[in-house]
């Protein structure tokens, strides 16, 4: 049908007498409206998905950014000989006998004199009144310093102590005068004093390195808690996962892709691998608990056990990725190698495997990233519920002594009652996501750089 | 000799064997590698493998079997009356091992001589204190029979470790000598080495099967143990979940804890349903839009961004549910909230967990459906459009019916994810097990209870802890069934067009 005839002999829907291509009838309008509605639903769905992503990221960043700043109090502390070393002979054993209780008055008096110097008017006039402003860790920090430098006793030294979590929260807007009305840890007078001290620079908020490098702290000292030790725990776990899952996964894939005969045994292995990829992670935790801890008596909470469990979880991912990249190497490569007299094994290890290596590496990194964020199995093998406050003492110790891991540490903080820990949990998520994003970017770059299309 | 040293010696022997084997093969060919059957390195590798693999295998098997053998030889030394009420022979044996380890530590630290450790008597000296000094903390005082058993344990394990050292190194040497003697220019070293490597590859591929076997066995044994302590019918049909703290039984011998799975299953299903109600429409429409409407440019940006949602660890979603979504919902549906309905008591609720889990599942539904919609042949679309159907009519009446089995498979996979998800429900759904219809009530799920029953202080042999394995078994079977069914549907559908 040509254009010329289109105007006159347009197909007319039966029942409608005056149809025209130029003027849409009601049915066509309805259909077109349905069409644009349908498309709009699609846009809406994609938009909602992206919106959720944005909201999630926004929640993480706004809540977590505060964990990276921390309030400090600068105090001149007079290290009184009469309190710290009564005998005056600088005997380290004697100095160690003074507990942190002996040190707290020194810190509090130091702060009190700073308050006097600043000229701030406050009803708080005793050293003990200063306690709510300072972290409970201040006395321990001072004690460690004195034990390390006994010759400083008798002098006045300037220290930067952590402020208490309430003061920290006040400067970050988490704690307000209304919210502390029934809080017996701090009074409004303290907040007034904090405002005054902030002006003279005794109290300041700076970047919080110790959140990244530090260790976890007990329930009462959220201001001192950090991710450093659990990051090491995660690192040791990832070393185990990498060291086991990469060789085993690659070996298994090579067998299945290049050598395995088509039989029931091979089918069984393949069905198993695809099923393992979909087994809930908590079931792997049960396996780890029953096999590695109950049966094999490996140490509880150790990164070694966590790494073993995560290895079993990561293997299917690595095997699937490796098989895909082995499959992508064209058969002509194998044929050429076999043609010049290489054995089957030589053709695989000398030619196919190097060509598939970038794909294998990418899959491995993505598998590791998954394992790094996995939490549920770690709960069952006991990597939560205690305070990871000690750095491992060496490489062997790092594998077998109890530790936490980044996601387990975040879970631990989320469970604690003090809202100051929530800020830490969000901050921990930022660190975790930075690792994940870095790993994924490396994977993408590797793929872009080395991937070959045949 | 510590195990690490044995491994080091065996590896060193292997290294030496590599050099020796290579040299001997070359010597037999008068130094001309062209006269060898295989490349020289294969002769070396042959001797290396013969010297290390059997020996290391023996080591692994020995280390697995040795504790069992020693246990059975030592445990008869513990008289039945020494096993106190509420304890078991396993716990006493754990004590024995700890004391034995403590004695070892004491000897290493120099607090005791080898002889003292073997002859010390619990009646005359305070073992607990002496071990405490070298940093081995014991929970209770050491009873004489435990100490004697521990000393016997030390003697036996010392003896077996000596046997092991001799056997492992001897086997390594024997393998080395045998393989070295065979290294001759006509020997087909490459074939032997390659078949050895191949069997290593086969072993690696069986790990997947071993893992499944491990999962199934660890679930079955503990589940059977649980059902010996707790009636099967109560577990499956009792509508209450109320574990009692101390455990224990009432006067009729029935357990005090009520461990019915129904409330947990109901919570799991309810949360999964809400999650799917969020994820399926959004994911499906997103997939339709991205595969049918969006241009290449939009698709290249939007698809990876949505898939980012799948790469975010579940702990992040859990925290998001607990700290952001929960309080937000309370502000809307809670007491004195925006709607003024007061349906919601606290932030943790079925709705909270379901919504957040739905967000997590969007990319699962959308990527899988996207693949499936793309697999529908273009000719079917062209035919429909050619008949005058609009694009949306084509999608609804041609593309979606053709893709339906695959989409159902994708939804089932997402459902299996939802049922097995742990962190979101642990943090977002609450801890109270109840059978309620209000989606703003706190409820709990199978996975959340597995975590809480196994991370508490409950004794491991009590039904309160063992129930977690029965729950895990239920979870495993349900998700496995869903996965197999879903994969079956997806595979069957794919075959139609390829």
Residue of A nearest to B63 (CA): A296
Average pLDDT over residues A164-189: 80
Candidates B202, B293, B306; nearest CB to A42: B293
pLDDT, tens digit (0-9, with 9 covering 90-100), for B303-320: 999 999 988 999 999 999
Can you give the pLDDT at residue B34?
A: 86
For B421, name the nearest residue in chain A, comparing CA atoms only.
A280
Give the C-alpha separation, A302 to A308, whole Å: 10
- d(CA A147, nearest CA chain B) in Å: 24
- pLDDT above 60: residue A6: no
Contact at CB, B451 and A380, closer than 8 angstroms: yes
Please enumerate in sequence order all residues whose Cβ is within 8 A of that of B478, keeping only pairs 6 or more positions apart, or say none: B416, B419
Beta-bridge partner residues of A156: A78
Q: Is B398 on the interface with A (CB under 8 A)?
A: no
Predicted confidence (pLDDT) per residue in B425-480, tens digit: 999 888 888 888 888 888 899 999 999 888 866 667 788 888 899 999 999 999 99
The four Cα atoms B300, B306, B312, B314 give a dihedral, to 10 degrees, of -150
Judge contact between B370 and B291, C-beta under 8 A: yes
Strands (E), B115-189: none
Among B97, B208, B386, which would you mutate to test the A interface (most chain A Cβ atoms within 10 Å of its Cβ)?
B208
Residues A176-204: what's their mean pLDDT? 79
Tokens 């004491």 label which residue?
B106
Return residues 221-250 of A near B (CB < 8 Å): 247-249
pTM: 0.86
b/e map of A385-418 (b: 16 or more CB within 10 Å)? eeebeeebeeeeebbbbbbbbbbbbbbbbbebeb
Report whether pLDDT(A410) > 60.
yes
Token pair listed for A198 = 């902030």
Give B105 or B398, the one with higher predicted confidence: B398
3-class SS at B225? helix
| Residue of chain B with shortest Cα separation from A287 | B215
Which of these ranges, A211-215, A448-452, B185-189, B335-339, has the smallest mean pLDDT? B335-339
Q: How far is A241 from chain B (nearest CA, A)?
A: 14
Contact A38 B320 (CB under 8 A): no
User: What is the pLDDT at residue A7?
Assistant: 45
The pLDDT assigned to A165 comes to 82
CB–CB of B316 and A312 under 8 A?
A: no
CA angle B227, A283, A273 (to 5 degrees): 120
Q: Show Cβ contacts of residue B485 under 8 Å, excluding neighbours closer than 6 positions.
A: B412
For residue A208, which phi and psi values (nearest 5 degrees)?
-105, 85
Q: What is the pLDDT of residues A133-152, one digit of tens each?
A: 888 788 888 888 888 887 77
Q: What is the pLDDT of residue B52?
A: 92
- Which chain B positions have a beta carbon within 8 Å of A433's beta carbon? 312, 316
* Kind and range of the H or E run holding A274: helix A264-276
Radius of gyration of chain A (CA): 33
CA B230 to chain centre: 25
Please report, for residues A11, A13, A14, the alpha-carbon distance to residue A17 in angstroms, rounded to integers and kept in the order given: 11, 8, 8
Task: Compare all CA atoms of chain A with the CA of B413 and give the residue at the minimum distance.
Answer: A278
Of A340-349, B14-23, B107-116, B484-493, minimum mean pLDDT range: B107-116
- At A3, the pLDDT band (50, 70, 90 cuts) reads very low
Tell me the mean pLDDT in the region A407-432.
89
Domain parsing of chain B, residue ranges: 3-187, 258-497
Average pLDDT over chain A, rounded to whole? 84
Q: Taking all residues of chain B, what is their mean pLDDT, rounded to a whole number?
A: 85
Give residue B197's pLDDT.
92
What is the structure's pLDDT at B65?
84
Provide the pLDDT confidence category of residue A285 given band limits of 50, 70 and 90. very high
**Contacts across the A-B interface (CB distance below 8 Å):** 253
* Average of per-residue pLDDT across A398-405: 83
* Reported confidence tier of residue B249, pLDDT bands at 50, 70, 90: low
**Cβ–Cβ contact A442 with B under 8 A:** no
CA dist A257 and A331 (Å) reads: 12
pLDDT of residue B252: 63
Q: Which residues have a Cβ under 8 Å from the Cβ of B367 and sit 6 or more positions away? A: B287, B303, B307, B310
Among candidate residues B263, B452, B440, B279, the one with its CA nearest the CA of residue B356: B279
CA distance from start to end of chain A: 46
B320 touches chain A (CB under 8 A): yes
Cα angle, residue A275 at apex, residues B222 and B426 outer, rounded to 5°: 60
Q: Is B256 near chain A, with CB under 8 Å?
A: no
Superfamily in which the A228-450 domain is placed by CATH = MetI-like (1.10.3720.10)
The conformation of residue B396, written as its DSSP 8-state character, comes to I
Q: Residue A380, Cα to own-chain centre: how many angstroms?
A: 19
Q: Which two tokens stand for residue A135?
A: 């972290």
List Cβ neighbours of B2 (8 Å cut-off, separation of 6 or more).
none
pLDDT tens string B101-132: 777 777 776 666 766 766 666 655 666 666 66
Name which of A393, A395, A111 is nearest A240 in CA terms: A395
For domain B258-497, the CATH superfamily is MetI-like (1.10.3720.10)
What DSSP designation does A223 have?
Answer: G
Q: Is the ipTM of this complex over 0.90?
A: no
Contact B471, B264 (CB under 8 A): yes
pLDDT per residue as tens digits for the range A362-386: 999 999 999 999 999 998 888 876 6
Distance CA A340, CA B273 (A): 60
pLDDT on residue A15 = 52
pLDDT range class, residue B321, cuts 50, 70, 90: very high
Query: In the structure, what pLDDT confidence band is assigned to residue A1 with cuts at 50, 70 and 90?
Result: very low
- Binary contact (B286, A407; C-beta < 8 A): no
As a whole number of angstroms, the distance between CA A73 and CA A158 comes to: 10
pLDDT one-digit tens code per residue, B351-366: 999 999 999 999 999 9
List, as ranges, residues 409-438 from A with C-beta within 8 Å of B. 410-411, 414, 422, 425-426, 429, 432-433, 436
pLDDT digits (tens, 9 = 90+) for B19-64: 999 999 999 888 888 888 888 889 999 999 999 999 999 998 888 8
Say yes or no to pLDDT of B344 above 70.
yes
Measured distance CA(A237)–CA(A407) in Å, rounded? 12
Alpha-carbon distance A385 to A409, whole Å? 9
List chain A domain ranges.
Answer: 70-207, 228-450
Residue among A122, A115, A120 nearest A74 (CA):
A115
Residue B76, SS3 per DSSP: coil
Q: Among A291-305, B155-169, B355-369, which stretch is predicted with the lowest mean pLDDT?
A: A291-305
SS3 A163: strand
List B344's β-bridge partners, or say none.
Answer: B334
CB contact under 8 A, B306 and A53: yes
| Angstrom distance (rounded) from CA A23 to CA A28 | 10
Compute the nearest-CA separation of B197 from chain A (Å). 9
Spatial distance between the Cα atoms of B134 and B131, rounded to a whole number of angstroms: 5
Among the partner-chain residues A46, A279, A436, the one whose CB lies closest to the CB of B290 is: A46
Local confidence band at A203 (pLDDT 50, 70, 90 cut-offs): confident
Q: Are B360 and B436 in contact (CB under 8 A)?
A: no
Nearest residue, CB atoms, B194 vs list A282, A343, A382: A343
Q: How many CB atoms sit inside 10 A of residue B301's CB?
A: 11
Report the SS3 class of residue A160: strand
Which tens digits make up the pLDDT trace of A219-249? Answer: 778 888 888 888 998 999 999 999 999 999 9
B410-449 residues touching A, CB cutoff 8 A: 413, 416, 419-423, 426-427, 447
Task: Summarize pLDDT for A56-66 with one digit per residue, the tens.
Answer: 999 999 988 88
How much is the pLDDT for B121?
67
Quick: pLDDT tens for B77-99.
777 666 655 556 666 777 777 77
Closest CA relative to residue A380, chosen from B235, B469, B95: B469
Contact B490, B406 (CB under 8 A): yes
- At residue A329 the predicted structure's pLDDT band, cuts being 50, 70 and 90, is very high
DSSP per position, A47-93: HHHHHHHHHHHHHHHHHHGGGGEEEEEEEEEE--HHHH-TTSS--HH
Cα–Cα nearest to B306, from B347, B365, B259: B365
Residue of higher predicted confidence among B76 and B417: B417
DSSP A219: T
**Residue B36 in 3-state DSSP?**
coil
Three-state secondary-structure class, residue B242: strand
């Amino acid at each position: 049908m040509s254009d010329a005839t289109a105007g006159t002999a347009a197909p007319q829907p039966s029942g409608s007498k005056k149809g025209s291509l130029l003027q849409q009838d009601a049915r066509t309008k309805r259909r077109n409206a349905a069409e644009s509605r349908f498309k709009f639903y699609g846009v809406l769905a994609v938009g909602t998905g992206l919106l959720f992503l944005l909201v999630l990221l926004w929640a993480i960043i706004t809540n977590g950014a505060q964990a990276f700043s921390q309030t400090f109090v600068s105090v001149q502390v007079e290290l009184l000989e009469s309190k710290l070393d009564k005998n005056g002979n600088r005997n380290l054993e004697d100095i160690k006998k003074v507990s942190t209780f002996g040190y707290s008055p020194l810190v509090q008096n130091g702060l009190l004199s700073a308050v006097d110097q600043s000229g701030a008017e406050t009803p708080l006039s005793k050293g003990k009144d200063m306690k709510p402003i300072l972290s409970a860790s201040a006395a321990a920090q001072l004690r460690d310093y004195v034990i390390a430098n006994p010759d400083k006793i008798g002098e006045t030294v300037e220290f930067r102590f952590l402020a208490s979590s309430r003061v920290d929260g006040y400067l970050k807007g988490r704690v307000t005068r209304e919210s502390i009305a029934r809080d017996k840890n701090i009074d409004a007078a303290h907040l007034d004093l904090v405002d005054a001290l902030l002006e003279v620079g005794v109290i300041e908020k700076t970047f919080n390195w110790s959140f990244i490098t530090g260790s976890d702290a007990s329930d009462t000292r959220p201001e001192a808690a950090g991710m450093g030790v659990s990051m090491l725990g995660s690192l040791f776990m990832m070393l185990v996962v990498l060291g086991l899952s990469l060789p085993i996964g690659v070996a298994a894939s090579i067998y299945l892709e290049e050598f395995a005969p088509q039989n029931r045994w091979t089918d069984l292995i393949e069905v198993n691998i695809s099923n393992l990829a979909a087994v809930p992670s908590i079931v792997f935790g049960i396996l780890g608990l029953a096999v590695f801890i109950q049966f094999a008596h490996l140490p509880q909470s150790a990164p070694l056990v966590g790494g073993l469990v995560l290895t079993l979880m990561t293997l299917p991912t690595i095997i699937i990725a490796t098989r895909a990249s082995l499959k992508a190497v064209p058969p002509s490569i194998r044929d050429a190698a076999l043609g010049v007299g290489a054995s089957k094994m030589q053709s695989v290890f000398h030619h196919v495997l190097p060509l598939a290596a970038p794909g294998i590496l990418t899959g491995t990194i993505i598998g590791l990233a998954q394992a790094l964020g996995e939490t549920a199995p770690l709960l069952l093998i006991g990597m939560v519920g205690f305070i990871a406050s000690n750095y491992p003492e060496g490489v062997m110790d790092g594998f077998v002594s109890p530790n936490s891991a980044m996601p387990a540490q975040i879970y631990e903080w989320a469970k604690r009652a003090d809202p100051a820990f929530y800020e830490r949990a969000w901050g921990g998520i930022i660190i975790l996501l930075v690792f994940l994003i870095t790993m994924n970017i490396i994977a993408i770059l590797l793929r872009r750089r080395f991937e070959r299309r045949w | 000799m510590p195990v690490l040293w044995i491994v080091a010696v065996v590896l060193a022997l292997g290294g030496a064997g590599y050099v020796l084997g290579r040299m001997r093969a070359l010597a037999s060919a008068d130094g001309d590698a062209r006269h060898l059957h295989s490349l020289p390195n294969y002769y070396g590798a042959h001797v290396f493998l013969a010297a290390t693999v059997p020996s290391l295998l023996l080591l692994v098997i020995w280390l697995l079997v040795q504790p069992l053998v020693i246990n059975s030889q030592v445990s008869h030394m513990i008289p039945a009356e020494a096993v106190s009420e509420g304890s078991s022979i396993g716990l006493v044996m754990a004590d024995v091992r700890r004391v034995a380890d403590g004695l070892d530590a004491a000897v290493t630290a120099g607090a005791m001589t080898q002889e003292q450790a073997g002859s010390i008597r619990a009646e005359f000296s305070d073992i607990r204190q002496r071990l405490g000094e070298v940093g081995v903390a014991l929970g209770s005082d050491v009873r004489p029979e435990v100490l004697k058993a521990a000393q016997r344990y030390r003697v036996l394990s010392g003896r077996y470790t000596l046997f092991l050292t001799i056997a492992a190194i001897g086997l390594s040497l024997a393998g080395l000598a045998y393989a070295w003697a065979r290294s001759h220019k006509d020997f087909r070293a490459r074939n032997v080495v390659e078949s050895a490597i191949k069997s290593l590859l086969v072993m690696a591929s069986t790990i997947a099967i071993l893992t499944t076997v491990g999962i199934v066995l660890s679930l079955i044994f503990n589940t059977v143990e649980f059902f010996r302590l707790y009636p099967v019918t109560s577990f499956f049909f009792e509508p209450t979940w109320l574990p009692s703290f101390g455990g224990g039984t009432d006067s009729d011998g029935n357990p005090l804890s009520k461990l019915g799975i129904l409330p947990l299953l109901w919570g799991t299903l309810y949360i999964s349903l809400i999650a799917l109600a969020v994820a399926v429409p959004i994911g499906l429409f997103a997939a339709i839009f991205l595969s049918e409407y969006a241009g290449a440019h939009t698709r290249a940006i939007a698809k990876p961004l949505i898939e980012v949602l799948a790469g975010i660890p579940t702990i992040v979603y859990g925290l998001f549910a607990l700290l952001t979504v929960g309080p937000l919902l309370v502000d809307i549906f809670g007491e004195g909230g925006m709607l003024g309905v007061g349906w919601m008591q606290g932030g943790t609720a079925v709705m909270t967990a379901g919504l957040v889990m739905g967000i997590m599942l969007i990319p699962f539904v959308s990527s899988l459906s996207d693949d499936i919609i793309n697999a529908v042949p273009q000719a079917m679309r062209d035919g429909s459009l050619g008949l005058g159907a609009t694009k949306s009519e084509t999608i609804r009446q041609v593309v979606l019916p053709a893709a339906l089995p695959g989409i159902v498979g994708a939804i089932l996979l997402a459902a299996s994810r939802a049922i097995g998800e742990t962190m979101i429900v642990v943090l977002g759904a609450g801890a109270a097990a109840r059978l309620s219809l209000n989606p703003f009530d706190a409820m709990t799920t199978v996975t959340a209870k597995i975590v809480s029953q196994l991370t508490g202080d409950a004794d491991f042999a009590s039904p309160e802890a063992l129930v977690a394995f029965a729950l895990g078994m239920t979870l495993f079977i349900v998700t496995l069934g869903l996965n197999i069914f879903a994969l079956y549907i997806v595979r069957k559908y794919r075959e139609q067009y390829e």
